[in-house]
Amino acid sequence: MNVRRYRARDMRDAMRQVREHQGSDAVILSSRRGDDGLLEVVASLDAAPEAGSSSFAQGLGESIPVDPQLAAMRREICDLRTLLMQQQALSESDQWAARHPLASQCIGRLMRSGFSEKLARSLTGGVQEDSSEEMAWSRLRSRLSASIATTSPTVLDQGGMLALVGSTGVGKTTTLNRLALRQIRRMGPDSVTLVTLDRQRIGAYKQLQAFGQMAGIPVMLLESERDLTALTNRATEGKLVLIDTQGQAARDAAERRLFAQVRNEVDLETWLVVAATHQSAVLRQVLQSFQVCDPAALVLTKVDEAEQLGETLSVLLEQRTGLVFYSDGQRLDEDFHKADTMYLTRLALQEPAYSVPPPQDRDAMLINSVSVGRVPATSQTQTLRDGMVLESIVPFRKALHAAY
């Protein structure tokens, strides 16, 4: 073992001397400031000749005894070296945390809520250490909420063709029915036509057909995208054609290029439906793969089932497509909301969130314009609000069929 003592002005000068004389593998055993103001450093390095001699002896088949104390000292030096390397790696982050305790606390809380470290550090870049914790979180919350892209498409008001695309099981059919119910209440049953291109999933068409019979609106099962050209007369001003599509894996979306054949013939808008339960890597792949469908907006489903909503919001912050609606339950009406980024932010941060108010169009009771069978409008409103439960595949309950 090669142990040497060095005297230097500071630690940087001492490290330079150690590297010059003993190499980068040397380990500093101790350091102290002398009476003369100079820094005394003791460094150690396993002697190369010993290792060479040992190897040579082993090559001759000889066994050279090793001093147990020397072996224990070597192991201890290796452990100290590993510890020093770990401390050196952590020293920069620890020093930053010591200088910015409030920002460091905010970063930790964001990461525990599922937000990525990169996003957390970006959001806390403007935190002022002299402000209170409540003030810092208020500004951070507002900044996070304002960073989530939202949009307000005009297709629901002006009419046209709207198709929902997305992976299998994210809730496209349920979302389609929710949009139809919203449009019926605002514009009447004559303003909506339901169309499905999903001929693979069992019960997909029956689910739409059941809703169409209850609401008194037409439901069509098309053979291919080409058949959409014959429905342009139904997408006139104020009238909406809602199109359900077959779910597909993200890796297949880019190859299939849905609606590519009719884009030049039909004025069609697409919305991408994504689930908050997706892992961040999967959600990124979905968002990237379905860009071939040119989505104008996002619908976020299954918010109530997400373990860490912050993970989902981190991915949404990375892209520009705006959020238009989100759902947080299976109830057809009460669990479907317009995009509220502050509510979602509070929910992701596990903070007490204000209750989501019902949309303004619900207060107007526009359901009176809907006529389904012989049920009075007031009775119909109560039934739709209290009894309608729509699952992703399961049809309406039999009791509802009997009521109509």
User: How many percent of the chain have pLDDT more than 70?
Assistant: 76
Measured at the alpha carbon of residue 155, what is the angle toward residues 154 and 156, in degrees to the nearest 5?
A: 95
User: Which tens digit of pLDDT belongs to each residue from 152-169?
Assistant: 999 998 888 999 999 988
**Residue 58 half-sphere exposure, CB side, CA atoms within 13 Å?**
8
Comparing 167-171, 239-243, 392-396, the range with the smallest average pLDDT is 392-396
DSSP 336-383: EEE--HHHHHHHHTTPPPPPPPPPHHHHTTGGGG---TT--HHHHHHH
Q: How far apart are CA 241 and CA 218, in angstroms?
A: 10
Q: How far apart are CA 77 and CA 147, in angstroms?
A: 50
> Token digits for 179?
């949009």
Q: Who contacts 201 (Cβ-Cβ below 8 Å, separation ≥6)?
A: 168, 246, 247, 393
**Single-letter amino acid code for the residue at 151:** T
- What's the average model confidence in pLDDT over 231-238? 79
Q: Which residues pair with 271 in a beta bridge?
A: 164, 297
What are the phi and psi torsion angles at 159 (to 5°)?
Answer: 90, 165
The pLDDT value recorded for residue 1 is 61
In the DSSP assignment, the letter for residue 43 is E
Q: What is the mean pLDDT of the chain?
A: 77
User: Which tens digit of pLDDT belongs to each residue from 178-192?
Assistant: 999 999 998 888 899
The pLDDT value recorded for residue 58 is 42
User: Which tens digit of pLDDT belongs to each residue from 357-368?
Assistant: 444 444 333 333
Q: Beta-carbon neighbour count of residue 65 at 10 Å? A: 5
DSSP 256-323: H-TTTTTTTTS-EEEEEEEETTS-HHHHHHHHHHGGGG-EEEEEEE-GGG-S-HHHHHHHHTTS-PPE
* pTM for this prediction: 0.65
The model's confidence at residue 286, banded by pLDDT at 50, 70 and 90, is very high
Sign of CA dihedral 319, 322, 327, 332: negative
pLDDT at 399 over 70: no
DSSP 54-111: HHHHHHTT------HHHHHHHHHHHHHHHHHHHHHHHHHHHHHHHH-HHHHHHHHHHH
Please classify residue 316 by burial: count the beta carbons closer than 10 Å to its beta carbon, then call 0-12 exposed, 13-18 middle and 19+ buried. Answer: buried
The pLDDT value recorded for residue 384 is 36
User: Which tens digit of pLDDT belongs to each residue from 118-159?
Assistant: 899 888 887 888 888 888 888 899 999 999 999 999 999 888
Q: How far apart are CA 329 and CA 174, in angstroms?
A: 11
Distances (CA, A) of 16 to 7, 10, 217, 312: 11, 10, 82, 48
**Single-letter amino acid code for the residue at 41:** V
